[in-house]
């Protein structure tokens, strides 16, 4: 899986470029964990290119959210498509994340 990563000031934006399923979800989780460590938990996950999230993908997102919460923050997701958002809602995971329409808004929320 290709994963784009860029820095915007002190915030890291990580963008998986495929569905978060199976081994791809695990690969994304490892990359996101490295990014969180490097940026002290200031991470935005851009889900614009993610069409679907399976149970493993949800588990990885929840693990990341819990890791960020230990540092007193909330994992920020942006550009979630309606299908991904609906899966998150149906599984009751909505309270674990902050949602933004674009990366700029998500990054600014750290100020």
Query: Which tens digit of pLDDT belongs to each residue from 28-78?
Result: 999 999 998 888 889 999 999 999 999 999 999 999 999 999 888 889 999
Domains contained in the chain, number: 1
The range of the structural domain enclosing residue 58 comes to 3-108
Residue 109: pLDDT over 90:
yes
CA–CA dist 26, 63 (Å, integer): 11
What CATH number does the domain containing 53 carry? 3.30.750.24
Q: For residue 91, name the pLDDT band (cuts at 50, 70, 90).
A: very high
pLDDT of residue 37: 86
pLDDT at residue number 111 = 85
Task: Specify burial of residue 63 (Cβ count, 10 A radius: 0-12, 13-18, 19+).
Answer: middle
CB 80 within 8 A of CB 58: no
């Amino acid at each position: 899986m290709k994963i784009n990563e860029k820095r915007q000031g002190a915030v890291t934006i990580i963008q998986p470029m495929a569905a978060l399923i199976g081994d791809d979800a695990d690969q994304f989780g490892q990359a996101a964990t490295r990014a969180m460590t490097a940026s002290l938990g200031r991470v935005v996950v851009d889900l614009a290119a993610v069409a679907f999230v399976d149970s493993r993908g949800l588990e990885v997102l929840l693990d990341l959210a819990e890791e960020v919460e230990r540092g007193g923050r909330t994992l920020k997701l942006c550009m979630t498509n309606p299908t991904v958002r609906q899966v998150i809602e149906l599984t009751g995971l909505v309270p674990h994340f902050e949602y933004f329409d674009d990366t700029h808004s998500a990054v600014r929320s750290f100020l």
